[in-house]
Amino acid sequence: MTTFKLQKPEEEVRRVGFVLQKQGIHERIPAQVGINIDVSGSMGDLFKSGAVQAALERILPVALYFDDDGRIDTWAFSNKQNMASLTPATAKNYEGYIQREIVGNKDVQPILWGGTDYGPVIRSNLMAYGLMEEEGAGGLLGMIFGMRRDAFGEETRSGIPAINYFLTDGENSDRDAAWDLLQKAEQAESQIYYVMVGIGDEKFEFLRSATEHFPNVGFVSVRDLGEFVGSDDAYEKLLPAELCTWLKHEHDDEDDDHH
């Protein structure tokens, strides 16, 4: 099985820049980079084979290019409310990251190898970036029952767009809840773009539908994760034209705001 090992980060960062230049991005656009890692039961073999670690190492140069902090905001998720926000991956800690922070992390053990829900981790992403807040529902009933409602915003807390990669190999069982979050974030023109990486032979009907419906969601079909991250055109697929168009739009809007 082909895999990828990050040997010279600075060379890989240059390759990322070259791919973006071919997409018409000739100057660096600041962006935050995150990753949601599916830790459902069916992902077990991909963890054992090292393919998930290789994927993290392939995505890290994207973060080093876009993000001043050079980090990947990292989450692990399975089903129900089983998800965890992890220590960010960086150029200093990426080696052995998956084993140390997920598989061998006793605090993460309770969420491993379950089913697949997207909603809770999407919610955590939006909260972390300041794109969603819980507010009191207001009115007499809100005061009596302490009801909360979600408020969605356009700009991240830092004012810098977020690119979030989703590694998953299965259909989610919370389609309505996940769709609702994506829809509300898109309606608020929230500064987040999801690159959904579907691994294996599933049809990924939800992810494909979301890609067709939302301008800030993209889908990458990956039959074999190890071969994908080891391929010469991995960055072209991880930085698709739709994402680059979205980034340029966000950058142009920011420039307009400063005039």
Render pLDDT for 38-52 as a digit per residue (tens, 0 to 9). Answer: 999 999 999 999 999
What share of the chain has pLDDT > 70, as a percent? Answer: 92
Q: Tell me, what DSSP letter sits at residue 40?
A: B
pLDDT reading at 68 higher than 90: no
Dmax (CA) of the chain = 61
pLDDT reading at 1 higher than 90: no
Give the range among 63-72, 75-84, 92-101, 138-147 with minimum mean pLDDT: 138-147
How would you write the chain as a 3-class SS string? CCCCCCCCHHHHHHHHHHHHHHCCCCCCCCCEEEEEEECEHHHHHHHHCCHHHHHHHHHHHHHHHHCCCCEEEEEEECCCCCEEEEEEEECCCCCCHHHHHHHCCCCCHHHCCECCCCHHHHHHHHHHCCCEEEEECCHHHHHHHCCEEEEECCCCCCCCCEEEEEEECCCCCCHHHHHHHHHHHHHCCCCEEEEEEEECCCCCHHHHHHHHHCCCEEEEEECCHHHHHHCCCHHHHHCCHHHHHHHHHHHHHHHHHCC
pTM of the model: 0.92
Residue 251 or residue 245, greater confidence: 245
Residue 257 or residue 228, greater confidence: 228
Q: What is the CATH number of domain 30-257?
A: 3.40.50.410
For position 134, what pLDDT does the model report? 78
How do beta strands 83-90 and 71-77 pair? antiparallel
Give the range among 60-64, 85-89, 106-110, 246-250 with minimum mean pLDDT: 246-250
Write down the residue that tokens 């040997």 correspond to. Answer: 7
pLDDT reading at 136 higher than 70: no
Q: How far is residue 207's CA from residue 195's CA, in Å, rounded to a whole number?
A: 10
Amino acid at 56: L
For position 84, what pLDDT does the model report? 96
What share of the chain has pLDDT > 90, as a percent? Answer: 86
What is the pLDDT confidence band of residue 147, given thresholds at 50, 70 and 90?
low
For position 150, what pLDDT does the model report? 83
| Contacts (Cβ under 8 Å, ≥6 apart) of 79 | 40, 114, 115, 116, 117, 173, 174
pLDDT in tens, 7-22: 999 999 999 999 999 9
Q: Residue 194 has which token pair?
A: 């999801």
pLDDT reading at 193 higher than 50: yes
Give the range among 1-5, 171-175, 242-246 with minimum mean pLDDT: 1-5
Q: How far is residue 185's CA from residue 192's CA, in Å, rounded to a whole number?
A: 8
For position 258, what pLDDT does the model report? 46
For position 259, what pLDDT does the model report? 43
